[in-house]
Structure formats: structure tokens, C-alpha cells
């Protein structure tokens, strides 16, 4: 559907440009170089004016997607005039043959009729047969003008047969032609391409295309952080970004043959609300992208800390309550990325029902149903449908809201994914989660079982968060959903950090991190307050964004949650103490001298018991490791272990009471083991100069390197 461009002459006066170019051609007849320079000089202000007008409209209230359409429309007009000028005044085809035909085609993102300010212009110069000298001259002249005007142009010169052959071989080329749009030139040639593309590519390879695009999406997510909640996200390629929306559009267009999401509502694939959500997500992401490109003057796709405040201001966000404008903007972004994930699941569910793919490949991505059959569970109202947890009735949640928690408990017990239709029903039933359900003993018992599960609590809690259940059932958690931490230290939003911390704790307990964190793995089997530890990890940052200290606020929330979830008073006190002091161990280890007697005495008086010390160490490891990639390192681990070993003997513990001298001697023996090819006298000479603080705090690999340096110095 063509959309009318308001006040088009403010972007480009096509008639005037055409006349100006014709006049230049007459004035520089016979002077090709002079003509080209004059044309460039005439076109540069035209391009600058169009970009300035597009940005002006964007800043003054135009939607981002409107800005992208304006820039695409301007590019269309410019290319058409350049093409006509080239074949009329520069490379005239005086007696054109049937092979001297060109169709100028927009492909890729430009083919969609949307251009961000810094986007590439993807063009296809389509020929009927082998490219002629005339066709090569025309395409090169246009391309060089575009490059000299500062455009980034991705181009291909092919005939119809080449397009079809390469589409079969390359999914990227296939996708670019899927979005092809005729700009100018030979329309019949373009129509021939699209007719053959439909018959020979889409009709025959529809399922393979869907499979390939989903695999491409998964690979893209693996290359980047799998989470959509990184605090400096890539709004184009990141999880929940524009590329994911494009992938959905490609799949829908190939499988259903539609490009209008209203048609999917008619077919029952989407509800009207879901179709509106798609357009809302697309509009927001395009607004952010256009502003970002204009601000940076380049095709920047990363929402870095340095641009977030200015972007928030340009988009009209202001401080509100405890949230700064930047935090409100980024929260909007993360919730949009979540909605994109929801839409992905909905579209894939529709494909599952229609059995778009029966081979194992697509089943791996869509978790394709193996119809027929439903397996009943012991729990009334729930069934297993082809390996997923489904509901037997649309009334299951309205009849008993506890089932909104129970379904996740069952999924955890049986290691099941939720059926997409169950997810949709949960989303429509969120209003049932109120004060009554939060006070319900059975619901709280089920939730505590989920939180402290010995299976994979992070996965279930994440699904509860994505469906909106977690933030409504644990109200304090809902306040920090999609809340970013505007600093260079944290990589994820607060809710994502807490879920990852629970995941790290679970991995320590299950032995998955035994090699990397041997002390934490050993200690977790000895603790007496397991439930308190899981609650503390889940709530240690839950008060972020409140005016009070987040440690004190989190402890207050833990004291309220403990009895509600069924913890004893002693367990609740332990959880609250851990939350209130969750920064203590890392602060002492990293900021104080862990070998100083007074430092250790002060720390011991604060911690008071070996049990608290064990719990605090494990919580600290989970917290630091969940901050982001590369935050945990050997140096931090060594400091924490040293602090633990210095403090534990002074608490009357029954283990790990090796004296400092004995531990230093063991460390010295480990160093000697790395120098076995050295003479024994040299080993003793070099390792004997080290004091206990060096042996206990410097990583072994560095000790070995230092030993080699000392030997080299002695030999020289």
C-alpha cells in the first residue's frame, strides 16, 4: 500500500531537480568530467536538505517509522532521476537491443520501503541476459555518483537466471529478493524475476526457508549475548531487536503469503491486540534507531551508556518519581524486546499447529507437535501435549488462580516446556493475581519449591518473569523488572541479574561449577539454611531503585517474604541478614588488607558464625558471577578464599582450620610441582624467598611466571 508523503517538495523538488540536471547536461556537452562534477555539486545540497527535513520532522513529533519511509521515498526519487539522467544525457542507448534493458530494483531493507538515516542502500541492477557494455557503464555511473554523495551502497548486477540460481544457494540472497521492490526501468523484467522466484523458490522451498531463518536467528543470538536484557543492547541484531521482527515478517510472508499483519488476524494467527503490539514494537524500535543514527552521524546500532541519556531526552522521557529519564527509556526498550519474544512464540505456535515442518530440523526450533495425543498428568486440568505442558480447559486459571503458580511447579517437576497456547492463556489471566493469591498458602508453598528447586530454578523463574506472573506474584520483583542499572559495572537489568544469580547458585549446588568454584561447591553441601540462601540470592538486589539503601530495603523485603513463603523465623532472620550484608565480603576482600589482624577481627564480629560465613561466601560468588561476562576473575576468587580461610578458624569452625603457615606451605608445594624440571636446589632457592601473603594471594600461573623471571635474572 502506497502512503502519501506530506509536503514532498520539502524533501525533494523532483521537477526542479530534473530541469537543473538537464540544464547542466546542456552546459557541459562534450565534457564528461565537468558534467559529473557539476552534477555532484548540484546533488549534495539536495541530499543534505532531505536529511535535514527528515530529522526536523522526527525531532518535532514524526514517528520513527514515518522518518524511515520519508528517507526511503526520497531515495526512490533520487535514484529514478539519476537513472533517467544517465540514460538520457550520459550513456544514451541510441538503438537498444533486447539485451540492453535494465530494471532498477530495491532489495533487502531498502526493499521494505524503510531506510534508517545511516542504513545501506541495497540495489539490484537486473538484466535480461549477460551484462552488456552499455549496462555496465550505466550501473557504474549511478553507483559512483551515489558513493561520492556519501551513501553506503550494497549492490549486485545479475540477470534473472543468476538471481534464481543464487537464491537456491544462499539464504541471504533469497531473503533480499523476497523483499525486492521495483524502482525504475524495465518493469516486465522485474515481474519475470518475481514470478519465477515465487514458483521456483518460494513454492518449492517454503519449509526450508523457515527452518533456515530460525537457525540464522539462533546463531545471531549465540554470537551476541543470549539475553535480551543486556544494559547496552544492540537494537538491530540483539535478542528482541528489529532483526527478530524482520525474521517474523519474512516467515509470515513466505508461509502465509501476506505482508499485512491484519490478514493474520483474519486467519486467526494473531489477535487484534497482538497485531497492534507488533506495530507498536516496530514503531518504537524504528524511532530509537532513527534518532540514534542522526545523533551519532553513522549507522550505530548499540545503545551504549554514552548515548542513552541524550536519546531519552530526544524521545521525550523525563524523570518521574524514583526513575530517571534514562531508566524509564531503557525500561521501555527492555519491555519492547520482551514483547518481540512473545510475538515470536505466538507465530511459531501457529506454525506448529499447521505442521509447517515434519522433518527433525524445524522441530528442533519450533518444538513441533507430534500429533495426535495428549498425556494426562496427576494434576487435574493439565496435560502433556507432545512434550509440552498444556491446559485441558480455558477456565483452569479463572476457576482456581493457584493454577497460575501450579503450572510452573509442574513444568519444573516434569522438566517440561509450556505449551504456547498455555502461555497465551496465562498472559490473559494475569489480572487474577492479586492480594488473595499472594496470601494463599498453597501458592506460596509452590513458589518456594520452584525457587529452591534442585532441577533448574532459573529457567522456570525466567518463564514466570517473561509471562508476567513473577512480577505480579512477588510484587517487589515486579517493580525491578526491566530496570537497568546505569553504570559500567552491571551488564544486565536488575531482574535479569537476580535470575542469573539464582542460576549460578543452582549450578554450584548441582556441581556444574565445582572445578571453577571448588570451595563454594564444598561448602554448599554443609549449609543448614538452604532455603534462606536461595531467598537471599533472589532478593539481594530487589530494592534497587528505592530511596533507601538497597541492602537495607532488600532485607526489609526478605523479612516480609520469608514468613509468607513458609520460612521459619530463624530462616527469615538469616535471609534478611544475608541481604543486608551481601556486599560485606566483597568489600572487605577487595578494599581491605585481608591479612591484617584487626580487619579479620572486625569481619568476624560482624559475621559471628561459621554458617553465616559459608552462606555469605556462596552468595557473594553467585552475585559477582551473575553481574556479567568477565566480571568474575581469579584475583577476586583468591581474595575471597583468603578472607574465608583467615576468618573461619576464629569462629570455632570444625573444618578448614589449617594454620596460615600450613596453607602457605601447601601453596609453596604447588608452585614447586610446576617447576619439576628444575634442579631441586634452584627450586628451593627461588620458592623459599616468598612470604605467606604472596603464596596465598598471587595466582599460581603468575607465581610460575615470576619464578621464571627470577631464574632468568639470576642466570644473566
Q: What is the pLDDT of residue 113?
A: 94
- What span, in angstroms and rounded, lies between the C-alpha atoms of 540 and 275? 38
With a cut of 50, list the residues of the chain below it in pLDDT: 356-362, 365, 367-373, 653-657
Q: What is the pLDDT of residue 657?
A: 43
- What span, in angstroms and rounded, lies between the C-alpha atoms of 458 and 226? 14
pLDDT tens-place string over residues 579-638: 999 999 999 999 998 888 889 999 999 999 999 999 999 999 999 999 988 899 988 999
8 Å CB contact between 599 and 559: no
DSSP string, 158-189: EEHHHHHHHHHH-HHHHHHHHT-EEEEE-HHH
- Cα 66–72–78 angle (5° rounding)? 135
Dihedral class, residue 482 (left if φ above 0, else alpha if ψ from -120 to 50, else beta) = left
- What span, in angstroms and rounded, lies between the C-alpha atoms of 253 and 173? 16
Q: What is the pLDDT of residue 375?
A: 63
* 3-state SS string for 48-109: HHHHHHHHHHHHCCCCHHHHHHHHHHHHHHHHHHHHHHHHHHHCCCCCCCCCCCCEEEECHH
**HSE-up of 658 (CA within 13 Å, CB side)?**
13
Q: What is the pLDDT of residue 107?
A: 96
How distant, in Å, are the alpha carbons of 486, 523, 555 from that of 532? Answer: 29, 15, 12
Q: Which residues of 129-159 are buried (b: 16+ CB within 10 A; e: fewer)?
A: eebbebbeebbebbbebbeebeeeeebbbbb
Other beta carbons within 10 angstroms of residue 419's beta carbon come to 25
- What letter would DSSP give residue 663? H
- What span, in angstroms and rounded, lies between the C-alpha atoms of 418 and 565? 24
* 3-state SS string for 546-593: CCCCHHHHHHHHHHHHHHHHCCCHHHHHHHHHHHHCCCHHHHHHHHCC
Nearest Cα to 583, choosing from 546, 540, 543? 540
Q: What is the pLDDT of residue 189?
A: 96
536 three-state secondary structure: helix
Q: What is the pLDDT of residue 546?
A: 87
Q: What is the pLDDT of residue 661?
A: 73
- Cα 327–332–335 angle (5° rounding)? 120
pLDDT tens-place string over residues 55-114: 999 999 999 999 999 999 999 999 999 999 999 999 987 666 777 899 999 998 899 999
Q: Given 3.40.50.1000, 3.30.460.10, 3.40.50.970, 3.30.300.30, which CATH number is that of 8-215?
A: 3.30.460.10
Q: How many helices (H) and strands (E) does the chain have?
A: 36, 8
Q: What is the pLDDT of residue 659?
A: 62
Fold topology of 474-657: Hypothetical protein af1432 (1.10.3210)
8 Å CB contact between 480 and 544: yes
8 Å CB contact between 72 and 148: no
Other beta carbons within 10 angstroms of residue 75's beta carbon come to 23
513 three-state secondary structure: coil
Q: Which residue has the cell 550505530?
A: 300
Class of domain 369-473: mainly alpha
Fold topology of 224-363: 1.20.120
- What span, in angstroms and rounded, lies between the C-alpha atoms of 372 and 698? 62
| Pairing label, strands 388-391, 382-385 | antiparallel
Backbone angles phi, psi at 296, to 5 degrees: -90, -15
Other beta carbons within 10 angstroms of residue 386's beta carbon come to 17
| Pairing label, strands 121-127, 153-159 | parallel
Amino acid at each position: 500500500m502506497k502512503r502519501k508523503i506530506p509536503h514532498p517538495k520539502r524533501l525533494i523538488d523532483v521537477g526542479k531537480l530534473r530541469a537543473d540536471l538537464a540544464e547542466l547536461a546542456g552546459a557541459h556537452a562534450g565534457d564528461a568530467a565537468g558534467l559529473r562534477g557539476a552534477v555532484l555539486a548540484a546533488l549534495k545540497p539536495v541530499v543534505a536538505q532531505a536529511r535535514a527535513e527528515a530529522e526536523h520532522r522526527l525531532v518535532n513529533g514524526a514517528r520513527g517509522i514515518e522518518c524511515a519511509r520519508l528517507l526511503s521515498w526520497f531515495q526512490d526519487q533520487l535514484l529514478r532521476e539519476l537513472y533517467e539522467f544517465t540514460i538520457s544525457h550520459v550513456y544514451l542507448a541510441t538503438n537498444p537491443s533486447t539485451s540492453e534493458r535494465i530494471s532498477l530494483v530495491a532489495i533487502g531493507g531498502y526493499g521494505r520501503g524503510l531506510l534508517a538515516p545511516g542504513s545501506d542502500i541495497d540495489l539490484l541492477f537486473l538484466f535480461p541476459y549477460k551484462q552488456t557494455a552499455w549496462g555496465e557503464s550505466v550501473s557504474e555511473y549511478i553507483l559512483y555518483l551515489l558513493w561520492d554523495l556519501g551513501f553506503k551502497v550494497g549492490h549486485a548486477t545479475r540477470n534473472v537466471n543468476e538471481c534464481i540460481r543464487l537464491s537456491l544457494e544462499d539464504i541471504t540472497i533469497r531473503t533480499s529478493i523476497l523483499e525486492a521492490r521495483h524502482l525504475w526501468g524495465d518493469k516486465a523484467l522485474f515481474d519475470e524475476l518475481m514470478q519465477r522466484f515465487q514458483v521456483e523458490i518460494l513454492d518449492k522451498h517454503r519449509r526450508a526457508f523457515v527452518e533456515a531463518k530460525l537457525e540464522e536467528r539462533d546463531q545471531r543470538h549465540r554470537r551476541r549475548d543470549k539475553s535480551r536484557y543486556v544494559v547496552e543492547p544492540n537494537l538491530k541484531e540483539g535478542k528482541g531487536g528489529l532483526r527478530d521482527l524482520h525474521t517474523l515478517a519474512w516467515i509470515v510472508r513466505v508461509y502465509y503469503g501476506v505482508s499485512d499483519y491484519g490478514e493474520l488476524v483474519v486467519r486467526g494467527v494473531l489477535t487484534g491486540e497482538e497485531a497492534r503490539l507488533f506495530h507498536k514494537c516496530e514503531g518504537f524500535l524504528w524511532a530509537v534507531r532513527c534518532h540514534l543514527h542522526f545523533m551519532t552521524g553513522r549507522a550505530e546500532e548499540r545503545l551504549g551508556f554514552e548515548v542513552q541519556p541524550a536519546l531519552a531526552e530526544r524521545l521525550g522521557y523525563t524523570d518521574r518519581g524514583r526513575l530517571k529519564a534514562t531508566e524509564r527509556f531503557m525500561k521501555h526498550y527492555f519491555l519492547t524486546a520482551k514483547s518481540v519474544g512473545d510475538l515470536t512464540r505466538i507465530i511459531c505456535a501457529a506454525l506448529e499447529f499447521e505442521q509447517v515442518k515434519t522433518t527433525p530440523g524445524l522441530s528442533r526450533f519450533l518444538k513441533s507437535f507430534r500429533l495426535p495425543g495428549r498425556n494426562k498428568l496427576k494434576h487435574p486440568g493439565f496435560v502433556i501435549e507432545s512434550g509440552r505442558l498444556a491446559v485441558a480447559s480455558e477456565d483452569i486459571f479463572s476457576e482456581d488462580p493457584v493454577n497460575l503458580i501450579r503450572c510452573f511447579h509442574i513444568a519444573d517437576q516434569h522438566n517440561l516446556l509450556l505449551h504456547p497456547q498455555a502461555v497465551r492463556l496465562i498472559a490473559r489471566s494475569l489480572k487474577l493475581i492479586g492480594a488473595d493469591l499472594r496470601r494463599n498458602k498453597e501458592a506460596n508453598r509452590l513458589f518456594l519449591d520452584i525457587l529452591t528447586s534442585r532441577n533448574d530454578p532459573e529457567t522456570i523463574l525466567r518463564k514466570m518473569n517473561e509471562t508476567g506472573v513473577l512480577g505480579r506474584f512477588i510484587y517487589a520483583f515486579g517493580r525491578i523488572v526491566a530496570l537497568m542499572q546505569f553504570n559500567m559495572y552491571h551488564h544486565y537489568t536488575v531482574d535479569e541479574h537476580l535470575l542469573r544469580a539464582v542460576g549460578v547458585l543452582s549450578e554450584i549446588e548441582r556441581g556444574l561449577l565445582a572445578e571453577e568454584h571448588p570451595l563454594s561447591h564444598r561448602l554448599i553441601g554443609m549449609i543448614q539454611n538452604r532455603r534462606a540462601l536461595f531467598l537471599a540470592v533472589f532478593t539481594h538486589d530487589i530494592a534497587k531503585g528505592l530511596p533507601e539503601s538497597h541492602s537495607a530495603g532488600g532485607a526489609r523485603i526478605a523479612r516480609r517474604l520469608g514468613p509468607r513463603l513458609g520460612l521459619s523465623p530463624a530462616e527469615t532472620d538469616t535471609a534478611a541478614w544475608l541481604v543486608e550484608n551481601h556486599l560485606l565480603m566483597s568489600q572487605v576482600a577487595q578494599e581491605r588488607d585481608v591479612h591484617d589482624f584487626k580487619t579479620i577481627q572486625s569481619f568476624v564480629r560482624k559475621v559471628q558464625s561459621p554458617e553465616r560465613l559459608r552462606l555469605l561466601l556462596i552468595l557473594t560468588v553467585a552475585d559477582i558471577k551473575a553481574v556479567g561476562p568477565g566480571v568474575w576473575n581469579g584475583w577476586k576468587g583468591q581474595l575471597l578464599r583468603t578472607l574465608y580461610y583467615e576468618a573461619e578458624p576464629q569462629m570455632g569452625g570444625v573444618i578448614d582450620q589449617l594454620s596460615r603457615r600450613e596453607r602457605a606451605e601447601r601453596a609453596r608445594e604447588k608452585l614447586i610441582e610446576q617447576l619439576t624440571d628444575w634442579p631441586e636446589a634452584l627450586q628451593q632457592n627461588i620458592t623459599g624467598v616468598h612470604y605467606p601473603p604472596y603464596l596465598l594471594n598471587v595466582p599460581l600461573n603468575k607465581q610460575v611466571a615470576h619464578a621464571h623471571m627470577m631464574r632468568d635474572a639470576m642466570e644473566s
